[in-house]
Amino acid sequence: MKNDRRPGPRVPQEEPVRLQKLLAEAGLGSRREIEGWITAGRVRVNGELATLGDRATRADRIRVDGRDVRLQRQRDVERQVIVYHKPEGEVVTRRDPEERATVFRRLPRPKQGRWIAVGRLDINTSGLILFTTDGELANRLMHPSRELEREYAVRILGEPSQETLAQLAKGVELEDGPARFDHIESRGGSGANRWYHVVLHEGRNREVRRLWEAVGVTVSRLIRVRYGNIELGRRLFPGNWRPLDEQELNGLLTLVGMAPPRPPRRGPGGGPRRRG
């Protein structure tokens, strides 16, 4: 008797992608952080030591530090994003050899994955840091091509001349290349202290401090008050965190070219539509 069964639909195979992208999308870390793991020999794919440039899929067996990594589809992972008010004295690292306080000790446990810090603030700088479990979002937020604005409140000693402020807006040569502030606004002050708000679209190491120091001005306090469309606000006190609301998250995703999540489809009674 002739077999009348027809073959079922073909299951499309995944295209291999860069290993750091695959792991970042699984929420293990930012692409830059994972590239460091690969370089340090901490990642294996199907038993072989991984190298930069390797590609993989979720069907491959991937191990980090000897432990198997469970990879999920990005759409199956709940994206979390929070804003944290970093106080002075904390460092942005998971483990500090000097045993100083780190920002991660105050964060809540994520529902899935692990927290990835979006950029850094040095130990003497306070203010806004974003954390997310979405490695692709973290990568886009930090990538120089996005040119996302960072705004800082800066307290300086003395009152700079108009020529000095003009020089900071025009550009100053630093050891790692030219830099400038996109916007400088005076916010008053008293005595020997003056407050300014400055905006720039880069995230180079200690860039704000180095710019002021390059024109002979001493920074006595530095606070990041905005990253992209996310503002620190007055109610989030140092050492505290809050989740982004829907409007903030959608605005952030739009800034980096990622589609906001679709709302659940509603059934006839107004509730979410269920399959089956």
The answer to whether the Cα torsion of 199, 200, 203, 209 is positive or negative is negative
Residue ranges of alpha helices (H) inside the chain are 19-25, 31-39, 135-142, 162-170, 207-214, 246-255
Catalytic residue selected from 65, 68, 96, 122: 122
Question: In 3D, which of 205, 187, 206, 183 has the Cα closest to residue 196?
Answer: 187
Q: Tell me, what amino acid is at 226?
A: R
Helix (H, G, I), strand (E, B) or coil at 197: strand
Residues paired with 64 in a beta bridge: 43, 67
Check if 4 is active-site. no
**CA-CA distance, 266 to 236, in Å (whole number)?**
35
Residues paired with 63 in a beta bridge: 44, 68
Q: Which residues have a catalytic role annotated?
A: 122
